[in-house]
Amino acid sequence: MKQWRPTPSTVWQGRDDTAEADNALRLFQTITCSSTFSPAQQPGDIALLGFACDEGVKRNHGRTGAAQAPTVLRRALANMASHAEHRRLSDVGDVVIEQTDLEQAQQALREAVLACQRAGKRTLVLGGGHETAWGHGLGVLDAFPQEKVGIINLDAHLDLRSAPQATSGTPFRQLARHCTAQQRDFRYACCGLSMAANTQALLDEAAYRNVTIVEDMQCLSAPLEAIAQLEQFMADLDRIYLTIDLDVLPAWEMPAVSAPAALGVPCAILLQLLAPICRSGKLQAVDLVEFNPSRDREGHGAGVAARLAWQVIRWWG
């Protein structure tokens, strides 16, 4: 596997409570780690893959640091309790960028995701900036060429920018163009969108692409209506790719991102939105992106992001 490295065993460490009871287990004690990239046929298992890259954030003139996120988020997950649902999780290592070649790194991520999906696994990718979505999304689309694949993006931003090269702001415009070239429908919903953070040009592009938009204000004032919109979007889909940009959270809960949200959707409401997606039976792939450890305060942001990932794994039926 190109541009791949295994996760060091020192990353998965935590408190050992097995003297108390045999089933007093934490994730570091139940996760399996691969020393080589060779996804085995294990239908229903969840492959955890890191994308150690923030070149797209740099190109988008954001605050870099997300390349360090996969390791930090693993450490935050390691000491969390492991229940029956978490035993399906395996760590298949990181895809890394060489110098500034983002496109090559995204292609390597695409190939890694496709290999995992073809082995019957679902993929949980820890980014990285939101340029993660181009490689991850392509891998999912490649794996299910004849199926209706929909993208749900929990994000303050549409990330439909037009730019001369890929950035963290372009992935869904790139995926839209790819779908057009493949003569398949582009199905995209952005939930938690901040009108204050998206220009009219981006909203026009979203209208042209028939994007489903659920604003942050609606998530706050009428979460049940927001859930109903997402359920309507999911109804006609065969597979769902869920991408969680952590800047959808308010800055007081998630300061450790390139663009902290002045308003945002609090974690408690975000979990209400996530539950029906995870339990839909259609969820095939998830990523968490834009976490920036260099902007974190006492590990607070890492803890919030890890709890989201932990909950997704538990609900992922």
Q: Is 300 one of the annotated binding-site residues?
A: no
222 is written with which tokens?
């009428």
Nearest-angstrom CA–CA distance, 109 and 116: 11
| Dihedral angle, C-alpha 315, 313, 152, 108, nearest 10 ° | -160
Nearest-angstrom CA–CA distance, 105 and 134: 11
Question: Residues 225, 231, 236, 237: is their CA dihedral positive or negative?
Answer: positive
Q: What is the DSSP string of 12-81?
A: S-----TTT-TT--BHHHH-EE-SS------TT-EEEEEEE--HHHHHTT----GGGHHHHHHHHHHTSB
Residue type, 241: Y
Q: Is 17 one of the annotated binding-site residues?
A: no
Question: Residues 286, 247, 150, 83: is their CA dihedral positive or negative?
Answer: positive
Q: Is 204 one of the annotated binding-site residues?
A: no
Q: Is 54 one of the annotated binding-site residues?
A: no
Place of tokens 């991408």: 243
Q: Where are the alpha helices (DSSP H) in 86-192?
A: 102-118, 132-143, 171-181
- Other C-beta atoms within 10 Å of 212: how many? 16
SS3 of residue 202 by DSSP? helix
Q: Is 216 one of the annotated binding-site residues?
A: no
What residues form DSSP beta bridges with 245? 289
Dihedrals phi, psi of 96, to nearest 5 degrees: -120, 155
Residue 124, judged by CB atoms within 10 A of its CB (0-12, 13-18, 19+), counts as: buried
Binding site, annotated residues: 130, 155, 157, 159, 245, 247
Binding site, annotated residues for Mn(2+): 130, 155, 157, 159, 245, 247
